[in-house]
Amino acid sequence: MKYMMMVLGWGALFLAFAVQAEPMTFTVTGGGDNLVQFESKAPLEKIVGTTDQITGSLTCDPADLSSGVTASISVAAASLKTGNKIRDGHMRDNHLDTDQYPNIEFKMANIPLTGQLTEGSTVKTTARGDFTCHGVTHTIDVATEVTLTKSASGQEVHVLATFQMKLSDYNIPRPQFLIMKLDEVQRITVDFRGVSP
C-alpha cells in the first residue's frame, strides 16, 4: 500500500510538471506599446519612421527554452509614418510599393535559447530568421532580448530586436527628398509585447 501511494504520488508530480511544461503561445496585436521604427540618416537631418501596427505570435515553453522558441511578426507597411505626409506618400508609392507589398514580415524558426524564462527575467540572444520586405526575403541575424512579465490577462513576453537593412538588398530605390539623399543602410528597431492567457 505504501509503495502504491509512492507511485501515485510520483505519477501526480510528473503529470503536474508535464502540464506546466507545455509550450505557450503569446499573441501580438497592433497598437498599445508596440513599436517598429526605422532610422535613416541624411546629410542635414535624421529621418525616423514608426508604426504600432504589428501583429503576430511567439511560441515557447518558458520552463524549457531549449525545446524551441519560434516567432512570426507582420507589419502593415503603409502604416509607417515619418511626420511628413508628402514624404510618407512618396515612401508608400515610390519605394515600398505598399499596394503590391502590403506587409513586412519576420519569421524566426528557432531562436537559440536555453534554460528557463522566469517572471521578471530577461534573456539575450542572436536570433536568425527570414526577413521579407518589398517582396524580397533574406535570412538575417537579429540581436534580441526577451523578458517575461505578468499582465492583467495572464503572462506577457516583451521582445526587443534590433538589426540593419540595406535598401538595395530588397530592391528598394534609395529615397531622395529635395537635395537630401537618405542613407543606404536603415537601422531597424522592433519592440513588441505578446500576451498568453
Q: What is the pLDDT of residue 122?
A: 94
> Could you report the per-residue pLDDT of 39-95, keeping only the tens digit for each?
988 777 788 999 999 999 999 999 998 888 999 999 999 999 999 999 899 999 999
Coil vs helix vs strand at 183 = coil
**Closest Cα to residue 182, out of 166, 163, 161, 162?**
166
Q: What is the 3-state secondary structure (H, E, C) of 109-145?
A: CCCCCCCCCCCCCEEEEEEEEEEEECCEEEEEEEEEE
pLDDT of residue 185: 92
Q: With CA atoms as reference, report the closest residue to 129 among 169, 161, 95, 156.
A: 161
Give the whole-angstrom CA distance, residue 19 versus residue 12.
11
Locate 191 and state its grid cell.
519592440
pLDDT of 7: 41
| Strand residue runs (E) in the chain | 24-28, 35-41, 46-51, 54-60, 70-76, 103-108, 122-133, 136-151, 154-166, 176-177, 180-181, 185-196
Q: Which residues, 6+ apart, have CB-to-CB distance to 146 below 8 Å?
A: 69, 111, 113, 117, 122, 123, 124, 125, 157, 158, 159
Domains of the chain: 23-196 (2.40.128.110)
> What's the pTM?
0.83
**Per-residue model confidence (pLDDT) at position 115:** 86
pLDDT along the chain (197 residues), means of 10: 46 42 90 94 84 96 90 97 92 94 92 86 92 98 93 89 96 73 89 93
CA distances from 162 to 65, 104, 117, 122, 149 (A): 21, 15, 20, 16, 21
